[in-house]
Structures are given as C-alpha cells and as structure tokens.
Amino acid sequence: MRPFLTVYGHVCLDQIMTLERFPEPNTSVDILAKHRYFGGTGANIATVAAALGVPTALVSYVGSDLPEDFRESMAARGVDLSEVVTVDGYETSTVLIVTDAHQNQIAYVYQGPMRSMGDFELLTARASESKVVHISTGRPEYYLPLMEKLRSMGKEISFDPAQEVHHIWSAETFPRGIALADTFFCNANELRTALRYMGAQRPEGLLDHVGTLITTRGAEGSVAYTAEGTRAVPAARPDRVVDPTGAGDAFRAGYYAGRYYGHGLEECLAYGNSAASFVLEAKGGVGKVPTWEMVEERAAPVLDRL
C-alpha cells in the first residue's frame, strides 16, 4: 500500500526517570522511578499514526543493537519499515528523559547514526509516493537537501524539528527549513525559539514564511494559525496524567489521522488533542496507543463545543 504519510525522525531507546525536583549542579537527588521504553519522534509518530489506520512509512537510521521486539512492535501496528536502515558501527539512538513532579522535562540525547545522517544518501522511495512528508528530528545537512528534493516533486511537507530547534537548528538553517515547508509544528517553548530565529514578535509573523503554523499548548489544547485566521481547540480530558512523554508525537499522529479520514482543520486539531490524551495515561511515548474509534469518542465532546 502506498503510504499516506512518511515520517523522518529518530528511533530511540528511551530511558525515562522521574524525580521530585531537578538537582542543582554538583549535587545529587533520588530517582523515584526508572524504566526503558521504545521511543523517538519518528517511531512515536509513525506507530500511533499507523495504529489509527493511516498508511505510514518511517525513515530513520538505527544501530545494529536495535531490539528486534522494537522493530516488531512497529511492524505489528502497520508501520512500513522498508527505509529504516541499520548502520554498522553505531548503537541505536538513546534518550534519557528526566521528569520532575511538575511534569517538566529535561532530555539527554545520544544521537547514534542520526548524528551522521548528513553523510548518507537521501532516502526518498516512500516519501515520493506519499501525500504528506513529516520532517521531524535529525540533521539540517540531511533535511535541507531532502526538503528541496521533495519540494521539486510537489510534495506537501511538514517541518517539525521539535526540541532540536534549540540546539541542532540555528538562525542560519532554520529559516531555510521553514521556507521549504507547508506546515510548521511546535510547542510553546519551540515557538519562542522559532520567533527569535525569524525576527518575529508574534506567531502570525511566521505566516510570511509558512502556510500553516500548528502549536501545542499542553493542557490548553492546540492552536492553528493560517492566513484565514486563528483556530484554538481545547484539550481532550485524559482519565489520568502519568507521563507527558510522547504526547506531542501522538498529537501529530491524531492530526494526520483526521487528515487521512477527510476532516477539516479544527477537527484534525481535536483528534490530535484526543490522541495525545491517551499517551498521557501511561509511561513511555507509545505506552498506551489508542484506536481510531477511541480517539473519535474522546474527541466528540470537544467537537461539540466548537
């Protein structure tokens, strides 16, 4: 099946720790819990999107140590892994995510082969067949030529560097990336960095460079900015909040599921908020993956208020 969505981004082994508060430098603090999960922006978005029924391909570079059950868990949900490439001499990307009692997070990232992806040949077989290509975490030296090539093919491109907007992208490379995209995804912190790079004061200022800006606001829901105006959609209510890891990735997957099933922008935001709410209820980025029916049911009260 041709993919509707192709996602570029990390496949990671997430080491998630929780503590009461972040320590000061040169001090220590007790870790209250520690777990290992399957994660990575690319893997999370692709896994949830495929589980929601969206034909999805994943493009990523991994080490030879990638656990087979990680690969099997993605394949079992329908993710096309034909362009997930094993690179000898590297360990798979690893992220140490530390969360405090207020749900603040700090992430420490070992990039693995994704750090060297600028040295690799561009992979476009699945993207060339897709309706939408989602560019997430990874190196500008790979993604900028990739986005130029995809643009020449007439592909719809979403640009979503996530937390890497702060330290991998720069005031030189970020403007080139957003100019090649149709949609820019970010959260509130990432938006501030994007505005600084672009010399803009307000989110609407980015619309001089990209057609649609979508920003997630945690418990406040999500907002889309377009030339036609601003649309804000409230969050869906989770049964409980356990771990915020991967909620933003699930939002993107829910948003694309809405697109795939033919819904409008506000509805897609509501479905994204709904998908994110399920991920909040369990540890890990894909600890609780909903079905499309579950997402529709939880989004219904939000849609009734729009």
Question: What does the domain layout of the chain look like in residue ranges?
Answer: 5-11+42-88+114-305
Strand order in the sheet with 229-233: 80-86, 56-62, 5-8, 132-135, 156-159, 183-187, 212-216, 222-226, 229-233
Q: What is the pLDDT of residue 109?
A: 82
Token pair 């804000």 in the structure block, residue: 232
Q: What is the pLDDT of residue 226?
A: 97
Q: Which residues contact 195 (CB under 8 A, 6 or more apart)?
A: 201, 202, 203, 205, 206
d(CA 276, CA 206): 25
Give pLDDT tens digits along the chain (306 positions): 899 999 999 999 988 899 999 999 999 999 998 988 899 999 999 999 999 999 999 999 999 999 999 999 999 999 999 999 999 999 999 988 898 999 888 888 899 999 999 999 999 999 999 999 999 999 999 999 999 999 999 999 999 999 999 999 999 999 999 999 999 999 999 999 999 999 999 999 999 999 999 999 999 999 999 999 999 999 999 999 987 888 999 999 999 999 999 999 999 999 999 999 999 999 878 888 999 999 999 999 999 988
For residues 54 and 4, the answer to whether their CB atoms sit within 8 Å is yes
At position 96, the amino acid (one-letter code) is L
Q: What is the pLDDT of residue 270?
A: 98
Q: What is the pLDDT of residue 286?
A: 85
Q: What class has domain 5-11+42-88+114-305?
A: alpha beta
Q: Is 80 a catalytic residue?
A: no
Q: What is the pLDDT of residue 103?
A: 80
Token pair 């993919």 in the structure block, residue: 3
What SS3 class is residue 59? Answer: strand
- Nearest residue to 37 (alpha-carbon basis) of 99, 119, 83: 99
User: How many other C-beta atoms lie within 10 A of the C-beta of residue 221?
Assistant: 19
Torsion angles phi and psi, residue 60, rounded to 5: -160, 165
d(CA 295, CA 272): 8
Q: What is the pLDDT of residue 196?
A: 97
The catalytically annotated residue of 14, 160, 243, 249 is 249
Q: Which residues contact 288 (CB under 8 A, 6 or more apart)?
A: 278, 279, 281, 282
